[in-house]
Structure formats: structure tokens, C-alpha cells
Amino acid sequence: MAKPKTKKTPKQTTSPQKQAVKVAAKPKKAPAKKGYTAQSIQVLQGLEPVRKRPGMYIGGTGIPGLHHLIWEAVDNAIDEAMAGHCATIDVVLHPDNSVTISDDGRGIPIDKHPVSKKSALETVMTTLHAGGKFGGEDGAYKVSGGLHGVGISVLNALSTKLQTEVASSIDGHLHTQEYARGKAKGAVKKGKAVKRTGTTHRFWPDETIFEEIRWDRKTILDRLRQQAYLTKGVTVTLTDERNMKDAGDGQPWQYRFHFESGIRSYAQHLNKQRDAISNVIYIAGQSGDAEVEVALQYTDTYAEHTFSFANNINTIEGGTHLTGLNRALTRVINDYARKQGFVKKDKDGSLAGEDVREGLTIVLSVRLPDPQFEGQTKAKLNNPEMRSVVEQVVGEGLATYLEENPADGKKVIEKAYLAAKARMAAKAARDTVLRKGALEGMTLPGKLADCASKDASQSELYIVEGDSAGGSAKQGRDREFQAILPLRGKILNVERARLDRMLGSDSVKSLIIALGAGIGEEFDLEKIRYHRVIIMTDADVDGAHIRTLLLTFFFRHMPDVIRNGYLYIAESPLYRVSSGKQSGYAHTEAERDKLIQKFLEKKTSVKALSEELASGEGKATTSAQKDIGGVTVQRYKGLGELNPSQLWETTMDPANRILYQVNVDDAEKADELFDTLMGSDVEPRKKFIQTHAKSVANLDI
């Protein structure tokens, strides 16, 4: 959920405007002998663009980009399943870090392509923008997740070796071809006759491209599970041969998914740690070539949990399909409430969209021939026709369900009206908190030590645990761009509270006012006063708890702060090691031992030092300090033990500090984790703690 990121923020000596004027006043002249001519234009052939700029195609060359290779091949198999031609998909992780993906679909065509004059298999594997997903009368797929025909060729380009085997539905024979870094090593070879059909790829990622070749089983498993939910009836199997001991009997580890109920099962899976107050409401319909599926279930929680997909692509930012669903929900439930007499027809007691979605888990899946997305990340569907299609299908289906299931209908209405009352109470509280606060130019929280800069892009807010650490931070900071907000004690657990109760918490109120972007329906990221919001808590259990509470607040009520990369976690040192005039800071025990060894005149082994510290040997100068052969080791229990200059040097100076940028790579996993850690159900939290207890470092008892 968080990745380490060192952030440097140098002080500005001149304003950006003045700098711009200086640059404009003295433009640099181009060298006379090196002009911008036709020779400057580089033409990349075949798959060279992929190898030259892999980040453009897979997002990067780190671990997420590496896993993208698997997704490309699996997505092709899923497209076959959505077209009704594939029932099984198998993924195998081999000990040599190669991966095999196979399906029982129709098989990539092997006949000669009319344009390339080569086998269609070789054309698809070695040419960008070649595939059967561009539509038209002869298109192989009415709907697909692949839009640009680059997927499998990108996988090929970024592999040192790739072997493809096609059991063809065209001639009933086996056909094979091998590639090296995107280029065919020979012609397609025709083999024996077979009764089955399908495609198998085995690839070896290029170590010169990727930073590290390390497959994460859980990441792959979660992705395959999601795809199996969205494609009901398909069987997806993951086999891990890398460590045969995992299974305990010398057999490879294996997990299989098959969901006949599709997204209905998905909604139940998402709500496994929540108490449901309705059955799963499943609605499906079609308009032309567009298909709509939705599963809805109400729970006793206060947050809305929405997962939307278009052609099995997770549209994390929603889009027109989700807009249509939300409109249908609000309209139908309001109509039902009036019809059942919950609201008199001549009175305005309308429920708002947020009222009818409180505690609602939504899984929306649409399939359409020509999906249009905003941006290259495919995060938001932009087809205008899908708004009315989804609204019609969901409206008719939901109205029918409520009429036929009055018990569920009553629970839904009661839940929505409680949410409406809470919303009105929250509105009153918000008006009091915000309109009399920073949003109307009045005083900021008294505890806030603001920075001088009014440029949000240059400003940062440290959220600090306690007055002691807050005092050190205020004295040690750079007042030009660093603001400090101390919080007293633990903030409210917002996972278990509605907005009206949340706004009754002084700590939460201070944080909202300090940020200046509002809350709830009035939240506006453009108004935020700091583009770096940094959580800085003690390196102990209480500090971790406070950090989790703050992360819960941002994840549930200000997710845009996370999505835009504004939220960070500061890492403070655990140890200070000094000897005479020499000193240094350590964030881990390994760093501590290296510093001790460096300062000792007699070279003592790192193992001996660790054992000495662990056994309590050495002269104790204070409860958190030991003297080992003239080297003093101080263990910091909290930020308050660092004086202002030390806090600046180790945790706040942009030149030296370590910041972890918070991001949410998988909303479903993050949502489940916050439910586990902060929800009302104790048993999942107990199980989580028992499972991960041994991996906890620096635990203070």
C-alpha cells in the first residue's frame, strides 16, 4: 500500500515568475553544426518501440510491470471465454521463473495473413496493433478487454524466449513457433493431429528489461480470482512449481477457481466480513450488443463499496455505466418509498444518492463492442450510450426485485432513511465546523503551526502524534514550506462512524479545517492547502495504531488525496549510535549493528553485537540507552525523544528524510484490509494478528 520515496524540497531563492523571465531573456542558441534534421528522426521497426520504452506499454519495469506480462496472456484467454469458446485457463509458475499460460479456446489462427503474407500466428506475435479485437464484420470478438492489439506482442518483445503452441481449430493440428525478444526464430512448424483446441504460451521475462524477476503468488491469485468471478462458468487454475514443499507431499501448490454464480458470488466474497441486511440482488439485461450485469447487497456498514468493470477491465474511476446505475438506484428506491407510504406524495422527502448507497456493495459489469476509456489506464468508461442502457436495465430489474421481495425492500428503505437523517445531521455539523472555519477565511485550528508559503504545490503538512513531538517538529521545521498539526491521542475510528459523529471529534475537525478541502459531498481537492500530507507517528505499537486510524480516515473520506499522490508516511530512526564526536542514526537493527561495528576500534562481529544487545549486556546508561565498548546506543521510544535539530536532520530535512508515498494498487484488497483491521467483527482481526504476528518488527511489549 505504500512505497518508499525520498522527497527533496529545496528552498526557492527567487520566485518562479522571476526565474521564467530570466530564462526567456537569454534563450539558448542551437549549436550550428548539429541541427534538427531528418537524420534526427529515429524510426523503430517491429517491436523495437516496446523494448525501447517498455513503460509506455506495461506501466514500468518494476514488479507490477512484470506481472503485466501474465495479465496480457490471461486477458486473451478471458476474451475467448467471454466469446463462449473457452472453458478452462491454466497458469503455471516454473522454478526457472518462466510462466506458462494455456487455454482451450479456438487457438490463434495459423493460416496466411493477406497483408503480412506470413502466418497469422507470427503476425499477431511479432506485430503491434495486430489482432482480432478491432471489430468490423469479420472481427473475432464482439467484446474484449484488449483494445489495441498490442498485448501478446508486448509480452513477446519483453521476453528473452517465448514458445507458443496452437492446437488449431482450422486444421486440427498442433502448430509451434519460438521467439527471442520479439523476433521469430523460425517458421511456424506443423505437428501431429490433435482433437483438442487452444493456445499455450511459455515465456521467460527479459532480465535486462526488468529490475527484478520475482512472481508474487498472491498478486496473481487475486487477479485470477477476480477474472473468474467476472466470467462465470470458466475454470481458472494457478499452479506453482517453484517450491514443491509448499504442498507438503512433493506436489506443486495449486488453486482452482470456478464460479457458476459469477458476480453474485463476488458480492458475497466482498461482504464476507460484513453483516448483510439484504440478499444479493442480481440484475442482468441486454440492449443491442451491450450486456449489463449487476450484483447489489446491503450491509450494516456506513461506507459504500463499489467495483465497476467494462469488458472485465476494472474501471476504478467509474464512468458512464456507473452513473447510469446510480441514477436508477436513486430513482427506483425513491419511487418505492413513496409507493409504500414511507413518504407522502405531496411532501418532499426525497432520498439522496448517497443515502440509498450507504452500506451498499456494488459489483457492476458491462460488456460492449467498442469501449471508449478516458486516459491510457482505462480507469473510466466514457461511452455515453452506456448511461441509458445501464439505467434502464437496473431500473427495471430493481423495481421488480423490490416488488417481489418486500422484506428486503423494507430493510433497504429503513437503512436509507437512517442515512438521510445522519446526512442532515452531518450537514449541520459540517456547516458549523467548516463555514465558521478555514473555508470562510476565519482562523485555522489553534494547534496548527502553518507555513509561510501559500503555494499548495510547495507546502507540506506534518500530522504529528502528541504535543511533545509537535513541539520538537515546530522548532525543527523549515517554516517556509512545512506546517505542523499535533493530534492529541488517537483519532476516532471512522470505519465505525457516520460523518455526523466523525465531525464531533476535535482531532478530525482540526485535520479537516487544516487541509481546507472540505469533507463529504463538499470535498474539493482543488482547495487543498498542502500537496504533501505527511503522517509522522512514533515507531511503536501506539504510533502504528494512530497511523492506521489516519489511513482509514483518508481512504474512506478523502480517497482523492491518496489517488493524487499527496499522502505520505515519514520514517523516523529507531536508534542513535555515537562514539566521541562520531554519531549516526539507524532505522533498522542491521543498520544499528553496522554503525556500532564502524565506531568500535576492535572489530567485533555483527552477530556478537546483536547477541549482546538482545541479551541486555553492556552498560545501561538510561532505560533506552546502552554503552558497548565506548559506543553509546540509544533506542528512541518516540518522536518526543528527538530534539528539534535531530528531528529535522533525520525525519524532516528533504535532503535526508525517508518518506513512503501511500498508494492503493488494488482497491478490493485495501477495502478488505480496512474492514479486517478497523471493522466491528473481532474474529477476522484476531486471525489476521495470529497469521502475521511473527513478521512484526520492532514490537514493544
DSSP 29: P
If you average pLDDT over every residue of the chain, what do you get?
81
Q: For 569-601, write each residue's pLDDT tens digit.
A: 999 898 999 888 888 999 888 888 888 888 876
Tell me which H or E stretch contains 659. Answer: strand 659-662
Q: Where are the alpha helices (DSSP H) in 433-558?
A: 466-476, 499-502, 506-515, 541-557
Question: pLDDT at residue 126 above 80?
Answer: yes
3-class DSSP state of 213: coil
Average pLDDT over residues 518-533: 89
CA distance 460 to 457: 8
Query: What is the predicted pLDDT for the residue at 387?
Result: 96
Active site residue 465: yes
Question: pLDDT at residue 22 above 50?
Answer: no
The catalytic position among 222, 241, 540, 571 is 540
3-class DSSP state of 35: coil
3-class DSSP state of 490: coil
| CATH number of this structure's domain 50-258, picked from the four choices 3.30.565.10, 3.40.50.980, 3.20.20.140, 3.30.710.10 | 3.30.565.10
Residue 576 φ/ψ, nearest 5 degrees: -120, 125
Closest CA relative to residue 163, chosen from 93, 100, 239, 72: 100
| Cell digits of residue 128 | 503491434
Active site residue 540: yes
Closest CA relative to residue 318, chosen from 370, 362, 269: 362
Q: For 28-81, write each residue's pLDDT tens digit.
A: 344 444 554 444 444 445 677 788 888 788 888 999 899 999 999 999 999 999
Average pLDDT over residues 597-623: 59
Return the number of other C-beta atoms located less than 10 Å from residue 197's C-beta: 19
The widest CA-to-CA distance across the chain, in whole angstroms, is 90
Angle between helices 667-678 and 541-557 (to 10 degrees): 130
| Cell digits of residue 204 | 521467460
3-class DSSP state of 361: strand
Question: pLDDT at residue 467 above 70?
Answer: yes
CA distance 283 to 397: 6
Alpha-carbon dihedral 522, 526, 527, 532, rounded to 10 degrees: 120
Residue 215 φ/ψ, nearest 5 degrees: -85, 130
Query: What is the predicted pLDDT for the residue at 459?
Result: 96
How many residues in the chain? 701
CA distance 651 to 477: 10
Query: What is the predicted pLDDT for the residue at 149?
Result: 42
DSSP 346: T
CATH code: domain 263-427 is 3.30.230.10
Q: For 130-189, write each residue's pLDDT tens digit.
A: 555 444 445 555 665 543 345 788 999 999 999 999 999 889 999 999 999 999 999 999
| CATH number of this structure's domain 448-572+661-669, picked from the four choices 3.40.190.80, 3.20.20.10, 3.40.50.670, 2.60.120.200 | 3.40.50.670
Q: Which residues contact 645 (CB under 8 A, 6 or more apart)?
A: 476
Angle between helices 217-230 and 63-82 (to 10 degrees): 20
| Cell digits of residue 467 | 504535543
Question: pLDDT at residue 201 above 90?
Answer: yes
CA distance 140 to 147: 13
Q: How far is CA 187 from CA 69, 125, 239, 673, in A?
A: 24, 12, 31, 50
Residue ranges with strand state E in 123-276: 159-167, 173-180, 183-184, 189-193, 198-205, 235-240, 253-258
3-class DSSP state of 431: helix
Query: What is the predicted pLDDT for the residue at 7?
Result: 44
**Domain boundaries in the chain?**
50-258, 263-427, 448-572+661-669, 575-635
Q: For 639-664, write each residue's pLDDT tens digit.
A: 888 889 999 999 999 998 999 998 87
Q: Percent of the chain having pLDDT more than 90? A: 45
Taking the CA atoms of the chain, what radius of gyration do you get in angstroms? 29
Q: Percent of the chain having pLDDT more than 70? A: 76
CA distance 145 to 274: 31
User: Which residue(s) pair with 200 in the sheet?
Assistant: 102, 165
Average pLDDT over residues 404-414: 93
3-class DSSP state of 191: strand
Q: Where are the alpha helices (DSSP H) in 536-605?
A: 541-557, 559-563, 589-599
| Cell digits of residue 481 | 514550506
Amino acid 349 reads G
The catalytic position among 241, 506, 542, 649 is 542
Spell out a b/e string for 55-88, using b for 16 or more CB atoms within 10 Å of the CB, else e.
eebbeebebebbbbbbbbbbbbbbbbbbbebbeb
Return the number of other C-beta atoms located less than 10 Å from residue 261's C-beta: 15
Between 518 and 143, the more confident residue is 518
pTM for the whole structure? 0.69
| Cell digits of residue 466 | 502528541
Active site residue 666: no
Q: Which residue has the cell 572489530?
A: 603
Q: Which residues contact 173 (CB under 8 A, 6 or more apart)?
A: 167, 190, 191, 192, 193, 194
The catalytic position among 80, 104, 122, 465 is 465
Active site residue 455: no
Tell me which H or E stretch contains 65. Answer: helix 63-82
**CA 625 to chain CA centroid, nearest Å:** 40
165 and 400 Cβ atoms separated by less than 8 Å: no
Query: What is the DSSP secondary-structure string of 110-162?
Result: -SBPTTT-SBHHHHHHHSTT-SS-S-STT-S-SS-S--SS-HHHHHHHTEEEE
662 and 562 Cβ atoms separated by less than 8 Å: yes
Query: What is the predicted pLDDT for the residue at 349?
Result: 66
The catalytic position among 240, 355, 538, 671 is 538
Question: pLDDT at residue 604 above 80?
Answer: no
